Structure formats: structure tokens, C-alpha cells
Amino acid sequence: MAELVKTMKVHQIMVSCGKTWTTDAGYHETVGQVLSYRNKAALCVEMEGVGLFTIAKYRECAASAIYIISDVFGDEEWLLGCSGEAIPVC
């Protein structure tokens, strides 16, 4: 993973490393779940990572994932990022 992060930084791509929350029910998160995972320092919620990491574990190989944040759910509003506008860093 360190090499991946280094490469992204060389290309001046902002990167954050940390925990993610995986769910199979996109857009069905409750406020309680969002707050709980936010308190656990999850950086994003996603749906595909668990498959990648399960297979990597089974095959006994390394895996990394890069998530591009499209929507930001803040305290007061939900910013939809698919409009082509830049997502502010929260």
C-alpha cells in the first residue's frame, strides 16, 4: 500500500488512508449507522471492497483499494458529487 500512496502523491493526487464501511445495501444507511461508523473513524461507505479483500485473503495475496468519493453526507447536508463539481474536503 505504501507504494500506491507514494505514486499517488507523486502525481499530486490527494489521498487519505483509513477504515471503510462495507454494506450491500447502498443508500439504505440509517442516521444511527452513519453516526456509529463516523465515530469509528470510517472514511467512506462502499459496496465492492469486501469481495476484493475476501478473494485476496483466500488466495493469500495482498490487495489495496482506491475509493473516489462522489457523495459527502455532512452534519447538515448531503452533497451529491456526480454533477462534475469538485467535492470539498471535509
Centre a 10 Å sphere on the Cβ of residue 69 and count the other Cβ atoms it contains.
Answer: 15
Distance CA(50)–CA(8), nearest Å, equals 23
How many angstroms separate the CA atoms of 27 and 71, rounded? Answer: 11
pLDDT in tens, 9-34: 898 888 888 888 888 776 788 888 88
Q: What is the chain's length? A: 90
Beta bridge partners of 72: 79
pLDDT digits (tens, 9 = 90+) for 55-82: 999 999 999 888 887 777 777 777 776 6
Question: What are the grid coordinates assigned to 31, written together?
Answer: 442516521
Q: What is the pTM of this model?
A: 0.63
